[in-house]
Amino acid sequence: MPELPEVKTTVNGLKKYLVGKTIKKVWTDWEKMVKKPADFSYFKSTIKDKKIKDIIQRGKNIVFLLSNDYSLLIHQKLTGHLLYGKWKEKEKGNWVSQTKGLMSSDKMNSYIHFIFFFKDGHQMALSDLRKFAKIVLAKTKEIKKDLDKELGPGILEIDFKEFKKRLEQKRTSIKKAIMDQGVIAGIGNIYSDEALFRARIHPLKKANNLTEKELKRLYNAAQKILKQAIKYNGTSVSDYRTPKGKKGEFSKLLKVYGKDGERCPQCSSLIEKVKVGSRTARFCPKCQKK
C-alpha cells in the first residue's frame, strides 16, 4: 500500500498537470470504488464541470480541492496508483495508453478501472489490480472533518515533543504504534521497518518502554527516511508507480524491508522477520535487541 512518500510523490506530480483543469466526465467499470455519494449517477453529475483548485496529501489520502467548496478524496489502497496522460478505448473497457514508454509497456499501468476526463483532452486514470481503491466526493468541510476525526497529524508536520507525547503512553509494540494512523499519519509497513532499523529499536518493544533517547532516534530516523524517500519518488515493491508510470527509486536504498534471510548491512547477521498483528516486521536481531 502506498505510504506517505508515495502519496506525496503522486500529489507533487499531479499538481504540475492538473491544477486549473476542469473535469468534463468520468468513466469506470467498477462503480464500487465510489463510497460516497452512494448513487454513481449523482457522483457523475456533481463532479462534472468542477475545477481543480489544489491537491493536498493527508496521511495516505489524496485530496483534490474543487470549485464550489467540493473535494474529491482518493485513497489508492493496496494496489492502486494514479496516472496522468491520454488513453484510448481499444475495445469496451480496454484502455490503451497513447504515451510511449513505461506508461504503455509496464503491465502495472494497464489495470485501468477509473478515468477522469478533462476539458483540455488530458486524462487522469486509476490503475488498480485488486480494485480496492476508495473514492469520495463531498463538501470540503465534510471531508476535512472526517479526516481530522480518523487521522493523527502527519509525521512530517510534528516536532519531537508532539511525537513523544503521542507514543510514550502506548502499550502496544512500537511498530504497531507508529503504523496507527490515528496516532501519527503516513507511516506504513515499509517505512516503519526502515525507521526502526536505523534507530536500532526492536519492532516488538513496547512503545511506553522506550527511553526519550530511543524516541529521539526514532523521530530523527523517520524524518530523514521519509524525506529521502520523497526525493527518490517513493518505493515500488510491486504495484506502485508515479503519475508518469515510473517506479519509485527508494527500493534501492532499503536496508531491511523485504530482506529477511539476507545479511544485515551493519553487522552481517541474518535479517529476521516476525508477525506484528497482521503485518510482518523485518529486523536485525543484533542491531535491534528487544
**Residue that is written with C-alpha cell 509494540 in the block:** 173
Dist. CA 121–CA 180, nearest whole Å: 40
Burial level of 277, CB count in 10 A (0-12/13-18/19+)? Answer: exposed
To the query of whether residue 89 is one of the catalytic residues in this protein, the response is: no
Catalytic residue among 44, 50, 60, 176: 60
Q: Which residues of 123-134 are buried (b: 16+ CB within 10 A; e: fewer)?
A: bbbbbbbebebb
- Packing angle, helices 212-231 and 4-18, rounded to 10: 40
* 8 Å CB contact between 15 and 248: no
To the query of whether residue 153 is one of the catalytic residues in this protein, the response is: no
Within the chain, strands assigned E span: 23-28, 34-36, 52-58, 61-66, 70-75, 80-85, 87-91, 94-97, 112-118, 123-128, 134-139, 272-276, 279-283
Catalytic residue among 15, 53, 206, 279: 279
* 8 Å CB contact between 283 and 256: yes
Grid coordinates given for 145:
472533518
Grid coordinates given for 137:
466526493
H-type alpha helices, the chain: 4-18, 40-47, 102-105, 140-150, 160-167, 174-179, 189-199, 212-231
To the query of whether residue 2 is one of the catalytic residues in this protein, the response is: yes
Dist. CA 10–CA 61, nearest whole Å: 10
Burial level of 72, CB count in 10 A (0-12/13-18/19+)? Answer: buried
Residues that are catalytic = 2-3, 60, 279
